[in-house]
Structure 1
Amino acid sequence: MNFELSDDQRMMQESFARFLDEQSNSERVRAAAEKDGFDADMWAGLGELGAFTLRVPEEFGGLGLGLMDAVVLMEEVGRTLASGPVAETLVATRILSRLAADSQADLLEQAIIGSQVVTVALHDVAEQPLQWVAGGAVATAVIARKGEQVILVTLPEGENRGEANLASTPIAELQLDVASAVVLGEGAEAVKVFAQGLEEWKLLMAAALAGLSRRAVEMAAEYACEREAFGKPIGTYQAMSHPLADLITDIDGGKYLTWKAIHDLSKNLDAASAQVSMALYWNADTAARAVTQSLHTFGGYGLATEYDIHLYNLRAKAWPLVYGDINRLLEEAGRRLYEGEVAALPDVGEISIDFDLGEPANTMAEELKQFFEDNLTPELKAKAHYSFDGYDAGIHKKLAEAKFLFPAWPKEYNGREAEPYVMNALRQVWEEYNWTTHPVSTTDLVGTMIRKAGSEVLKEEVLTKIINGDAVCSLGYSEPGCGSDVFAAKTKATRLEDGSWRIDGAKMWTSGANIAQYVILLTRTNPDVPKHKGLTMFIVPLDTPGIEVQPVYTFQDERTNATFYDGVIVKDEYRLGEVDGGVRTMAAALELEHGGGFNKSQRKMFRSAETLCREIQYKGQPLIKDVDAQKRLARARMHFYISEMLANRALWVGVTGRENKAYGPMIKMFSSEKFQSDSRDLLDLTAPYSLSKREGAAGELNLAYRHAHGTTIYGGTSEVHRSMIAERALGLPRTRG
């Protein structure tokens, strides 16, 4: 797996960034907006740097680079609001070189050196002869499709085609069905070349909007660190920081959705064409929200033209809306997924990015699949459940014997030393077979903490049982009055004269305690110091006298527990870590929890919804034929793709040791929030069938709706994760309500 640009791409990015920081600074953008929205000097400079040659084949004077190279440029174009139709010209020069490099050699040369502007019309002239064209006010020529022809329309020199518009860009409404147009190509192959160019434009524009959005949110975050209200920076307040945390997550997701579309195009994967439509839809929608919230962060000053944020606000709408209503793109994605609509997809060239988990991961995943095929009887499959309720002691023991219980552990602990990519592939298999991971994940966490900080007694008496599959562990963090503030624990541990400990108190949401043999318990051992300094952790056998486990049933169709501790005596050897050092131990445990996402649950949910939409009849045909249904299913799929990419990014960063800017909290927060909102929407879409708990897709979608609500809470609420994202990803101050 690789999320890193190639060395050449990084050098190119730095070169374009330096140039645009100087030649497309806010003063230059403002100056261009005051005349025709076009910076001719900057444009010529881009030509000198070779920007417009990126996608032109070498034999026609270009660099012949891949689409990812052009995306690198467009992210910088978006970040700096470059004044000119860069995306359109990149597409136009490529089409011109492929269809008429000889007959239009002079024009192609002038276009790639930046002395003339050649742009592209986004709609068929045969259907829409009068249309808005990006750069049309300053262009020499426009390339357009006209039925089965691709034509070149030369625009009259000296004609004033510009007019006042939202962002003062050089768009123009042009009459393109003119008799003097030159035919560049005719027939299916020429039309295909043009159509490929339009798909490429969608990805280039998506990349530009991702760069624009990121810079707008960064500007807002910088201002939120400086501006004070009531004696504190406004970034201290969650009402200001949390929306920005949501947006930087959405922006990252959109960037990598664009990358995924390019990656999947290079692999000829089935859903790649739909991802192209999704990438522009998502990034355009995100940009609109990002610039609105960023301007709002500036308050009244955001309305003043002396602040640059308004430039980003207007450009975020002006660039993509030349295409028209972006919601049509989601409909297009739906048609491509569910109607079999075929698109002419561009050749993306070479790429260095790679999102495959690798052969070792695929091989071990196949082995685990075979394990489940061999061991899951019809009775066990009927028992399967996403929660602790799906636990089966026999399968748990067999997984341990097959070294599939804790594959990442060292071999001396009955593991396989499986790398993180392998573990990710294995988790997908668990989800595919609908077998619960809860008892394994909590026991894995506790076992890992014992391996790192446990006494020799703990390792001998507890860890051995965990390794052999004879013990399950639950988590005793939360308390009835503390919620996510686990460090406010009041359950008391008092040291006795013989060195052992007496524990008194109560824990809430001790899921699995009814089937577990041990609980990892956070206790207060020193009430006279700040709350974060007086905590100690223990591993407590759940059959110890004085422990009571009471069931708590949730509407998620699962059981959790409240646990009570009255005079519970625990040996000091069962202490985990130092006395009053529980924060360090707990922090390591919480870091393990905060990294998880729910993209696999999202996948199962939208697949169930697709199945149900094929079964339900609506107006005499399957519901999946309905345009609105296709659009909503496509939206849920899109959210899954973004979750998957955010999860892969977090995984890759962890493996490679790169700087982690709250990437774990990002995937947890985004995936759980979208799981919840999409489950609600898909329940509506398939109603009233989705109300049923009957076996099959209806019951699965019904359960997904109930399951999703808990995902935004356990492992840290979305609010907790938003604070972490605001602080780590945007540099905002510690956030408080």
Structure 2
Amino acid sequence: MNFGLTDDQEMMRDMFARFLDENSTLARVRAAAPSGFDDALWRGLAEQGALSIRVPEEVGGLGLGLFDAAILMEEAGRTLASGPLAETLVTARLLAQLGGEATAELLDRVVTGTAVASLAFHDVAIAPVQWIGGGQCAEAVIARMGQEIVLISVPETARAAEDNLASTPMAEIDLAAHPRITLATGTDALETFAQGVEEWKLLISAGLAGIGREALKLASAYACERKQFDQYIGQFQAISHPLADLLCDVDGGKFLVWKAIRDLADGAENAGAAISLAAWWNADAATRAVAQALHTFGGYGLTTEYDIFLFNLRAKAWPLVLGDPQRLLEEAGRRLYAGEAAALPDVGAMPIDFDLGEDARALTDEINAFFEANVTPEMRETFHYSWEGYNPELNRKLAEQNLLYLGLPKDVGGRGLSAYAKTAAMDALELQGYNNPAAGVTQMVSLIIHRFGSEELKQDVLPQIMRGEVICSLGYSEPGSGSDVFAAQCRATPDGNGWRIDGTKMFTSGANLSSYVLMLCRTNPDVAKHKGLTMFIVPLKAEGVTVQPVYTFQDERTNITFYDGVRIPDSWRLGDVDGGVRTMSASLELEHGGGFAKYQRAMLHAAETLCREISHQGQPLIADGSAQIRLARTTANLWASELIAFRAQWASMEKKPNLAYGPMAKMFSSEKFLSDARDLLDLTAPLSLSKRKGAVAEINMFYRHAQGATIYGGTSEVHRSMIAERALGLPRTRG
């Protein structure tokens, strides 16, 4: 897996960033209005080689890949570059591919910045009058006309300036009224032109991601300066949390562009749909990001003295030259579920890679072979996504094959998998229908015992855990503290050579099945709350422990546990007295930025199955355009969730700065899991109300399961605060 640019691409991005920072300042952007075209900037971009990035080397271009052009477009979006850059990049390539000697002189003028050429998105034979991106300054337009690809010469008199939403150089032109030459005819020519349109979708998407990111940056900086009620407004969660949400959306959009290019490079089956979804997503995400950014400025955001309005208008204007972005989602639905073919451009080299690797594939095969050899139909009947799916026999067998504690380091006795292989393993287990939250918690406990436990614990308890004979639960949450584990009030007081534990723990999932609970207890009430905590292992069969069931509507049991004078020796303490926070942090090495993508994927597959079975107006529901749209939207949410989680894993594995990437993965995927669960339950109703075995029961179960996704492991509100602080630099919003 790789989320990093090559050294050459880093240098190229830095070069373009410096040039655009100096030559596309917001003062220059304002000065370019109302034409929306900065001739000096344009010639400067040409001198930097920007306009020839996608032109093949054999005709004098740089011959770089689509990803290189996307890097340029993201910087152009960030700086609101004044000119039809996406259109020009595509047109220059089309002139090189289709024009030959007849257009060599024009191509040279385009890549040197002395002429502008653009493209028409619709067949001129059907729609002769069209809006053209950069039409005010374009002396030529490439278009389809029936079975021909033509180059239309547009005189200056036909390029009438027209006031428009964002002062971009668009113009409405009667393309049939001007001289034209035929560049090429036939299927191959039409395919090449259609590939250019697909390429434009990805380039404009990358530009929109740049616009959205910069708008959020401006809003965050303002929220760190502006005070209201004697507080910086960035401290108000009503300000910081929407920005955190939108940062996930904008980053997800950029990664969807990357995925589409990666899929094109790999010849993936759904590459065409990936293009459509990336374009739709970024048009939507950028619009919402700039609107929220402007809102952060309050009334000042409405004035022309502040620059944020420029981002607001430009984010809306760039994609709308193509038309309604909602049609891109419809297009994605047809490409995914109706067999619609797409013209797939040659993207060239692509360094970004989402492949989990050979080790991951080998582990998947190993897990599949294990389940085939060891799991009976009777066992499968007991599988459940919660702790209630725990099977002691299967747990021991998994331990024997070293398939139980997949993320646990080898020095503890675990498999020591990379984050990538662990992700593949979790997906493989999900496909087997087996979830084992008990193993995830128990391996955390075993790591803490190994790092901080006494010799007694290491000799008596740890071997039981490693053999798969017992499982452990967590005693963190309390009735009054929720996600604030540092507010624990369950007391541990010295008692002879040991400790007495008194108090209550809430949501002690698995306590009815576990042998031990990892307890965070208050040992010093006179210091800061996070400094007066100590960690213990407590046997759940000890005298004074009561486990009371708490049932949820998710078909999941959790527990409330009571500790009344429970006595344990000091040897069952983990780490230093009042050092519980440090002890607890040892488990963080097992975290690599997870999320709910595996559940989202299974839910989508269940919905697809039902949509093929449910009849709607005499045909399968999946043939309905509305159903295709909703499944396509779920697909986009799944892909974005997966990519955001991959970024967190990659950053962890490569020791990159981690700007709340893990919280982004958890929060984003849990929220999308919940919203899509609601929508897919609606889509497949009323059948989805049933708990009939198969896909129907799965959809029903996923809807109930998703309700807890935004709560367990830290609520979305907690994670939004972490994202706002770490990724956007906003003030701390929590006490």
TM-score over 0.5 (shorter chain)? yes
Name the CA shift for 1:477/1:431 in 2 (closer, same or farther; >3 Å).
same
Give how far 1:583 is off.
1.8
C-alpha contact 1:53 1:112 (8 A) present in aligned 2? yes
- 1:568-597 per-position Cα deviation (integer Å, ceiling 9, x unaligned): 011111111111111222344467569321
Q: Which residue of 1 aligns with 2:481?
A: 482
Distance, in Å, in 2 between the alignment partners of 1:375 and 1:152 is 66
Q: Match of 2:320, as an amino acid? A: L
Q: Which residue of 2 aligns with 1:683?
A: 681
Q: 1:554 aligns with which of 544, 549, 552?
A: 552
Distance, in Å, in 1 between the alignment partners of 2:316 and 2:306 is 18
Give how far 1:412 is off.
5.1
C-alpha contact 1:203 1:279 (8 A) present in aligned 2? yes
User: Does 2:617 correspond to 1:632?
Assistant: no
Q: Which residue of 2 aligns with 1:4?
A: 4
C-alpha contact 1:288 1:317 (8 A) present in aligned 2? yes
Q: Which residue of 1 aligns with 2:303?
A: 304
Q: Which residue of 2 aligns with 1:192?
A: 191
Q: Which residue of 2 aligns with 1:315?
A: 314
How do 1:639-678 and structure 2 match up within 5 A?
A: 639-678=637-676
Q: Which residue of 2 aligns with 1:28?
A: 28
Give how far 1:131 is off.
1.1
Name structure 1 gaps, 5 residues minimum: none
Distance, in Å, in 2 between the alignment partners of 1:518 and 1:578 is 20
Q: 2:522 aligns with which of 521, 524, 527?
A: 524
Give how far 1:417 is off.
2.9
SS of residue in 1 equivalent to 2:363: helix
How do 1:250-261 and structure 2 match up within 5 A?
A: 250-261=249-260
Give how far 1:271 is off.
1.2
Distance, in Å, in 2 between the alignment partners of 1:694 and 1:106 is 68
SS of residue in 1 equivalent to 2:102: coil
Q: Which residue of 2 aligns with 1:15?
A: 15
Q: Which residue of 2 aligns with 1:123?
A: 122
Q: Which residue of 1 aligns with 2:595?
A: 597
Q: Which residue of 1 aligns with 2:97?
A: 98
Q: Match of 2:626, as an amino acid? A: D
C-alpha contact 2:300 2:306 (8 A) present in aligned 1? yes
Distance, in Å, in 1 between the alignment partners of 2:448 and 2:576 is 13
Distance, in Å, in 2 between the alignment partners of 1:95 and 1:411 is 55
Name the CA shift for 1:592/1:361 in 2 (closer, same or farther; >3 Å).
closer
Q: Which residue of 2 aligns with 1:65?
A: 64
Give how far 1:23 is off.
0.8
Give how far 1:354 is off.
1.1
Q: Which residue of 2 aligns with 1:709?
A: 707
- 1:365-395 per-position Cα deviation (integer Å, ceiling 9, x unaligned): 1111110111221111111110011110000
- 1:476-530 per-position Cα deviation (integer Å, ceiling 9, x unaligned): 1111111111111111111012x20000111110000010011001111111222
How do 1:272-311 and structure 2 match up within 5 A?
A: 272-311=271-310
Give how far 1:69 is off.
0.5
Give how far 1:531 is off.
1.4
Q: Match of 1:495, as an amino acid? A: P
Distance, in Å, in 2 between the alignment partners of 1:139 and 1:504 is 78
- What is the aligned-residue identity percentage? 60
Give how far 1:413 is off.
3.8
SS of residue in 2 equivalent to 1:226: coil
- 1:183-203 per-position Cα deviation (integer Å, ceiling 9, x unaligned): 111110000000000110010
Q: Which residue of 2 aligns with 1:247?
A: 246
C-alpha contact 2:419 2:592 (8 A) present in aligned 1? no
Distance, in Å, in 1 between the alignment partners of 2:90 and 2:407 is 47
SS of residue in 2 equivalent to 1:319: helix
C-alpha contact 1:676 1:709 (8 A) present in aligned 2? yes
Distance, in Å, in 2 between the alignment partners of 1:5 and 1:393 is 46
Q: Match of 2:37, as an amino acid? A: F
Q: Match of 2:676, as an amino acid? A: D
C-alpha contact 2:159 2:171 (8 A) present in aligned 1? no
Give how far 1:411 is off.
4.0
Distance, in Å, in 1 between the alignment partners of 2:543 and 2:687 is 48
- 1:245-283 per-position Cα deviation (integer Å, ceiling 9, x unaligned): 001111111111110110011111111110100001111
Distance, in Å, in 2 between the alignment partners of 1:459 and 1:265 is 52
Give how far 1:469 is off.
0.5
C-alpha contact 1:447 1:466 (8 A) present in aligned 2? yes
C-alpha contact 1:593 1:715 (8 A) present in aligned 2? no
Distance, in Å, in 2 between the alignment partners of 1:238 and 1:585 is 30
The TM-score normalised by the length of structure 1 is 0.98
C-alpha contact 1:209 1:284 (8 A) present in aligned 2? yes
C-alpha contact 1:665 1:725 (8 A) present in aligned 2? yes
Distance, in Å, in 2 between the alignment partners of 1:408 and 1:290 is 36
Q: Which residue of 2 aligns with 1:229?
A: 228
Q: Which moved more, 1:433-442 or 1:156-165?
A: 156-165
User: Does 2:295 correspond to 1:267?
Assistant: no
The TM-score normalised by the length of structure 2 is 0.99
C-alpha contact 2:408 2:590 (8 A) present in aligned 1? no
The Cα RMSD (Å) is 1.2
Name the CA shift for 1:591/1:628 in 2 (closer, same or farther; >3 Å).
farther
C-alpha contact 2:489 2:503 (8 A) present in aligned 1? yes
Give how far 1:118 is off.
0.4
Q: Which residue of 2 aligns with 1:576?
A: 574
- 1:532-576 per-position Cα deviation (integer Å, ceiling 9, x unaligned): 111111111111111011111101111111101001011111111
Give how far 1:239 is off.
0.4
Q: 1:607 aligns with which of 605, 608, 613?
A: 605
Count of aligned pairs between the two proteins: 735
Q: Match of 1:576, as an amino acid? A: L
Q: Match of 1:725, as an amino acid? A: I
How do 1:78-227 and structure 2 match up within 5 A?
A: 78-178=77-177, 180-227=179-226
C-alpha contact 1:479 1:489 (8 A) present in aligned 2? yes
Give how far 1:122 is off.
1.4
Give how far 1:410 is off.
4.2
Distance, in Å, in 1 between the alignment partners of 2:690 and 2:387 is 23
SS of residue in 2 equivalent to 1:544: coil
Q: Which moved more, 1:700-709 or 1:145-154?
A: 145-154
C-alpha contact 1:38 1:83 (8 A) present in aligned 2? yes
How do 1:420-435 and structure 2 match up within 5 A?
A: 420-435=419-434
